[in-house]
Structure 1
């Protein structure tokens, strides 16, 4: 197991309809490995998953800075589209990458990275509904369960949540 005791991970979650296991499985991997995990969302104190999970929000998206974290992860689920064109989310992704951080997204959330211009020329995966957008934005879409291209890690969907979490943890070591 990775030793992430000095690492800080920011997980950005939609206010509602995030995919429960895409938050819970990677978060469990990070916390078991000793990382400090912060949950951020937009304008709410609690987020609600597609299957009813309720999670306390630590910080509003407006209050977070990429420089405070070693990794910035965008959680998927149908609600993640709230961030596709959100200026704060796009700036957070861009700044995290520019500052040398690990940047990850799973399910439909890789479209946030694509819309921020981070996937151009990169191998990436996402839920199949996002293939067209990723390709349009210059990504080399593979459809694999998980892809890592440098500091960018993408996951296809809930079935890949554990593998995605492990890949992010490995990148943080």
Structure 2
């Protein structure tokens, strides 16, 4: 059975993070759905326009193994302020499924209450939101604590995406995706 991942996006999310996550997960054979909060194409933080696979409303009730939130501002704030996203994070956590976020987006995990007692990281400007949500800050580029995975920002997006693959499919599949990328 193929792993299924939902990647919600909003206006002004970080495109480098979004595309890196989606690209590497799909290279691993994972079924990824990019879902926009609102209908239509989404203009990302640097002006790149992404055509989502679906609107969030149409896919929110589907079953997923992992929810991944890209960062970027104010995109991550839009995700954090959307009651559907907060409820989905809580539903995924209650079902013992993966919740993951990068850059500014871990603030939504904090808002949903899933960082309580967890090691987590984010873009440094958002550390206070993580600690307010009960997280213990990690110095790692990618922090994994149970079914919660967080990362710092655009520069860590590839490491983050590879960790998502490893968490879902194992180290062998991660290595199979990573080898042809020719990382140093």
Q: Measure the CA separation in 2 of the matches of 1:42 and 1:99.
A: 23
Tell me how far 1:42 sits from its aligned partner.
1.1
Q: Measure the CA separation in 2 of the matches of 1:84 and 1:129.
A: 15
User: Unaligned regions of 5+ residues in structure 2, if any?
Assistant: 170-184
Tell me how far 1:66 sits from its aligned partner.
6.0
Tell me how far 1:67 sits from its aligned partner.
5.2
Which residue of structure 2 aligns with residue 114 of structure 1?
110
Runs of 4+ in 1 over 6 A off after TM superposition: none
1:93 aligned to 2:82? no
Tell me how far 1:134 sits from its aligned partner.
0.8
SS at match of 1:77: coil
TM-score (norm 1): 0.92
SS at match of 1:17: coil
Instruction: Select the structure that is richer in strand.
Output: 1
Contact 1:143/1:156 (8 A) holds in 2? no
The number of aligned residues is 168
Larger Rg: 2
TM-score (norm 2): 0.86
1:45 aligned to 2:40? yes
1:171 aligned to 2:134? no
Go from structure 1 to structure 2 and tell me whether the alpha carbon gap of 1:58 and 1:37 turns closer, same or farther (over 3 Å shift). Answer: same
SS at match of 1:100: coil
Go from structure 1 to structure 2 and tell me whether the alpha carbon gap of 1:66 and 1:123 turns closer, same or farther (over 3 Å shift). Answer: farther
Contact 1:39/1:57 (8 A) holds in 2? yes
User: Unaligned regions of 5+ residues in structure 1, if any?
Assistant: none
Q: Measure the CA separation in 1 of the matches of 2:12 and 2:72.
A: 6
